[in-house]
């Protein structure tokens, strides 16, 4: 039987190929167009937008380049829903800015979002070779100070944890102060956002007992796999069967237009009584429980990842 994830993977791959074909004659050869989000995770459903940005060697302070306008038009022909206004996407970014200020005072919510999602779920749209080179460059920055083979890539782990906490705090801001729809964001937080975080956490755990080059190559390889498949690869199918089933339930619901519309209109006052929301929320708890079980079954209690995520 074909799962919802199988269906969304096929739809996502088809869209990505169309985008690559459309953009290859538009994006300059020195630039790199990439996407994050549901299409990159192979989870595109009804109502999915395309989170994308373009890396360029240098930025001109003048008006938007003509080719970038054409690129956005070409993307809209494939994916009609634009990214959220004012967010980290649909923009031109200088390569230097992505590769520097890891944790500095210029490392804003938007910059850490772009950097983390580049690693954890990024997918190229143009210039695959440069896309991979920059991904390796980011990984090298994080791993370069990890000298002992026994140590995990702690610097990277700290930033993955920081990003996860940033997402959760950002959710509170958007729903409490910015007036954004809260229910669909809440459900995405306990499923897809938690999946991204876990896939990074599990990947860092795999750097234990490897030399520096092996750590880099391990992360390169794992980050080239979509998050759900990455966790399945690391933990094995026997340890992930239930969490994959749970995630498919989430995807099937979020792919339903009526359910999606319902989640976008629920008031917070009804959060404890709305049956559809409660069922999805309960599924989210099961998904989290299965993620934790897969984590503990894959990495024994004496593995350094357990201590590292707490202290």
State whether 250 and 201 are in the same domain.
yes
Quick: pLDDT tens for 222-258.
999 999 999 999 999 999 999 999 999 999 999 999 9
State whether 248 and 132 are in the same domain.
no
State whether 114 and 188 are in the same domain.
no
Is the confidence at residue 177, as pLDDT, over 80?
no
User: Which one, of 137, 37, 160, 162, lies nearest residue 87 by Cα?
Assistant: 37
User: Is there a contact between 47 and 40 (Cβ–Cβ < 8 Å)?
Assistant: no
Cα 253–chain centre separation: 20
- Residue ending a domain, among 143, 165, 180, is 143
Q: Give the position of tokens 């896939």.
A: 199
Query: 163 by DSSP, 3-state: which?
Result: helix
User: Which one, of 129, 18, 1, 124, lies nearest residue 79 by Cα?
Assistant: 18
Tally of domains within the chain = 2
State whether 133 and 152 are in the same domain.
no
Q: 170: pLDDT confidence band, cut at 50, 70 and 90? A: confident
User: Which one, of 237, 157, 166, 152, lies nearest residue 198 by Cα?
Assistant: 157
Q: 55: pLDDT confidence band, cut at 50, 70 and 90? A: very high
Residue 281 belongs to domain spanning: 148-311
State whether 74 and 207 are in the same domain.
no
User: Which one, of 110, 101, 132, lies nearest residue 119 by Cα?
Assistant: 132
> What secondary structure letter does DSSP report for 189?
I
State whether 115 and 96 are in the same domain.
yes
Q: Is 42 buried (19+), middle (13-18) or exposed (0-12) by CB count in 10 A?
A: buried
State whether 202 and 106 are in the same domain.
no
- Residue ending a domain, among 124, 143, 162, is 143
State whether 126 and 170 are in the same domain.
no
State whether 268 and 308 are in the same domain.
yes
State whether 54 and 104 are in the same domain.
yes
Region of poorest pLDDT, from 44-48, 89-93, 241-245, 261-265: 89-93
State whether 66 and 110 are in the same domain.
yes
User: Which one, of 58, 50, 102, lies nearest residue 76 by Cα?
Assistant: 50
Residue 244: per-residue pLDDT: 98
How are beta strands 51-56 and 92-94 bridged, if at all? parallel
CATH of the domain at 91: 3.30.460
Measured between its terminal Cα atoms, the distance across the chain in Å is: 43
- Residue ending a domain, among 143, 166, 191, is 143
How distant, in Å, are the alpha carbons of 58, 135, 178, 197, 268 from that of 117?
A: 21, 11, 23, 10, 29
Average pLDDT, the chain: 94
Cα 242–chain centre separation: 21
Query: 52 by DSSP, 3-state: which?
Result: strand
Q: Which residues contact 98 (CB under 8 A, 6 or more apart)?
A: 55, 111, 114, 115, 118, 134, 138
User: Which one, of 151, 170, 163, 192, lies nearest residue 42 by Cα?
Assistant: 192
Quote the CA–CA distance of 170 and 173 in Å, as a whole number. 5
Residue 207: per-residue pLDDT: 98
User: Is there a contact between 123 and 39 (Cβ–Cβ < 8 Å)?
Assistant: yes
State whether 278 and 129 are in the same domain.
no
Mean pLDDT of 6-16: 98
Is the confidence at residue 86, as pLDDT, over 70?
no
User: Is there a contact between 31 and 52 (Cβ–Cβ < 8 Å)?
Assistant: no
Quote the CA–CA distance of 303 and 311 in Å, as a whole number. 14
Q: 88: pLDDT confidence band, cut at 50, 70 and 90? A: low
- Reported residue count of the chain is 311
């Amino acid at each position: 039987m074909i799962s919802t994830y199988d269906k969304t993977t096929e739809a996502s791959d088809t869209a990505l190929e169309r985008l690559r074909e459309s953009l290859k004659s538009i994006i300059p050869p020195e630039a790199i167009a990439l996407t994050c989000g549901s299409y990159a995770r192979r989870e595109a459903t009804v109502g999915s937008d395309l989170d994308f940005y373009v890396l360029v060697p240098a930025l001109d302070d003048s008006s938007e380049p003509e080719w970038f306008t054409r690129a956005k038009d070409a993307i809209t022909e494939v994916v009609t829903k634009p990214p959220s206004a004012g967010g980290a996407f649909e923009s031109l970014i200088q390569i230097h800015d992505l590769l520097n200020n890891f944790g500095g005072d210029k490392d804003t919510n938007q910059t850490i979002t772009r950097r983390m999602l580049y690693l954890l779920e990024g997918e190229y749209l143009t210039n695959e070779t440069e896309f991979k080179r920059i991904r390796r460059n980011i990984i090298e920055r994080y791993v370069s100070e990890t000298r002992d083979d026994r140590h995990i890539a702690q610097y990277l782990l700290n930033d993955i944890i920081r990003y996860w906490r940033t997402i959760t705090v950002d959710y509170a801001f958007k729903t409490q102060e910015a007036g954004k729809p809260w229910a669909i964001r809440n459900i995405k937080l306990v499923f897809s956002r938690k999946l991204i975080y876990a896939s990074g956490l599990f990947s860092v755990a795999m750097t234990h007992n490897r030399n520096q080059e092996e750590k880099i190559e391990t992360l390169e390889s794992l980050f080239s796999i979509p998050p759900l498949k990455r966790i399945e690869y690391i933990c094995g199918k026997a340890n992930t069967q239930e969490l994959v089933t749970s995630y498919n339930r989430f995807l099937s619901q979020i792919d339903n237009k009526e359910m999606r519309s319902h989640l976008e209109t629920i008031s917070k006052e009804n959060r404890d009584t709305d049956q559809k929301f409660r069922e999805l929320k309960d599924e989210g708890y099961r998904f989290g429980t299965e993620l934790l079980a897969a984590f503990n079954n894959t990495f024994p209690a004496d593995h350094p990842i357990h201590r590292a995520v707490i202290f």
